[in-house]
A = this chain, B = another copy of it.
């Protein structure tokens, strides 16, 4: 590998001058600049970013921590992040926790040791150790999708989206709305979305059966199983609609209903959240909520880059959402 010293020698100047040319600062005569640039071209020299990073404490890399890449939500977010950071000549160092909470913390440390300029975290849970670690690393930090105290967070409006969905169902005359959620360890998807449902039901004076509420684990299969349980448990009084907090689980639920010969939406309406590509192409097409994941990624990246440029107070941003009405309701 050619180094800055090699270039300097070949151009008969000091490495300082070469550095000046490369970084476009300080005074350099046009003559020398040209000579150096030519040698750089010829040799195909590329500066070592490890060395640069060691010296400048900046890496041009931003760390992204996600629970799983192979979900549409995550890949959309990452795509959004990438579009923005690439413009700022940053790269993404991607880490995937595979839903392991402990790894969220480990990876924050790891990214710190790699001198990333900032971190975007898609957390699946919130706990004190996590918050403490984030504080401790003292890096520009964005939480996407979970409200982390003291940390700039970009939030989906889980509560209101959930209220809207439930109200929409109630308004359409589906009085008996079942619910498939996820573990309440996940404050956004688990707790808030459920709270929205519960509150909306209560405020409209509908009482609902506990047996209408089931929990899945984000997978299609778990949606299928949850639907099965709901049907099994509620013999006698079948719900007329089911609100599922993710599209994938909703697809699973639909699958079960289809298998059992229930018509959607005549026998049971189904609503999901996520606006997955699939939701549009299943039959019947699935009513869902678009969370604009890619835009959230954009936003996160923009905010992070701002923070990298100058430190800021923690802020909270709530993304808009949009109810997409389709044929499953």
Q: Contact residues of A with B, CB < 8 Å?
A: 44, 46-51, 53-54, 59, 61, 68-72, 74-76, 78-79, 82-83, 86, 91-96, 98, 109-110, 112-115, 136, 220, 251, 254-255, 277-278, 281-283, 294
CB of B95 within 8 A of CB of A94, answer: no
Most chain B CB neighbours (cut-off 10 Å) among A44, A86, A278: A278
Closest 7 CB pairs of A and B: A283-B283, A46-B113, A70-B79, A50-B54, A50-B53, A75-B75, A94-B94
Which of chain B's residues has its CB closest to A59's CB?
B50
> Which of B79, B96, B136 lies in contact with A68, CB distance below 8 A?
B79
Contacts of A83 in B (CB 8 A): 98
- Chain B residues contacting A86 (CB-CB under 8 Å) are 95-96
CB distance from A262 to the nearest CB of B (A): 15
Cβ of A54: which chain B residues have Cβ within 8 Å of it?
48, 50-51, 54
* CB-defined A-B contacts under 8 Å, sample of 7: A50-B53, A50-B59, A51-B54, A83-B98, A278-B282, A281-B282, A283-B283
Q: Contacts A54-B48, A69-B75, A79-B69 known; A255 to B281 CB distance under 8 Å?
A: yes
* Partner of A96 from B49, B76, B79 at Cβ < 8 Å: B79
Contact at A61–B93, with CB atoms within 8 Å?
Answer: yes
Contact assessment for A50 and B114 in the assembled complex, using a CB-CB cutoff below 8 Å: yes
Closest B residue to A112 using CB positions:
B46
Supposing A75-B69, A79-B96 touch, asked if A115 and B61 sit within 8 A by C-beta, the answer is: no
Contacts of A68 in B (CB 8 A): 79
Q: How far is the CA of A251 from the CA of B276 in the complex (A)?
A: 14
CB distance from A16 to the nearest CB of B (A): 19
**Given A109-B46, A278-B277: A94 in contact with B96 (beta carbons within 8 A):** no
Contact B114 A49 (CB under 8 A): yes
CB distance from A239 to the nearest CB of B (A): 22
Complex-state Cα separation, A114 to B60, whole angstroms: 10
Question: A217 → chain B, closest Cβ, in Å?
Answer: 16
- For A61, list chain B residues within 8 Å (CB): 93, 114
User: Are B94 and A47 neighbours in the complex by a CB distance under 8 Å?
Assistant: no
Instruction: Determine whether the beta carbon of A115 is less than 8 Å from that of B50.
Output: yes
Cα-based distance from A94 to B90 in the complex (angstroms): 11
Contacts A114-B49, A220-B277; is A93 near B96 (CB within 8 Å)? no
Inter-chain contact B69/A82, CB cutoff 8 Å:
yes
Q: How far does the alpha carbon of A98 sit from the alpha carbon of B79 in the complex, in Å?
A: 9
* Contact call B48/A115, Cβ cutoff below 8 A: yes
CA distance in complex: A61, B92 (Å): 11
* Set of chain B residues within 8 Å of A282, measured between Cβ atoms: 278, 281-283
Residues in B whose Cβ lies below 8 Å from that of A44: 136
Residue numbers in B under 8 Å from A71 (CB-CB): 75
Q: Which residue in B48, B72, B93, B277 is a CB contact (below 8 Å) of A113?
A: B48
Q: Which residue of B lies closest to A64 (CB)?
A: B94
Which residue on B lies nearest to A98, using beta carbons?
A: B83
Q: List chain B residues, Cβ under 8 A from A91.
A: 93-95, 110, 114
CA distance A112 to B44 in the complex (A): 12
A53 CA to B79 CA, complexed, in Å: 28
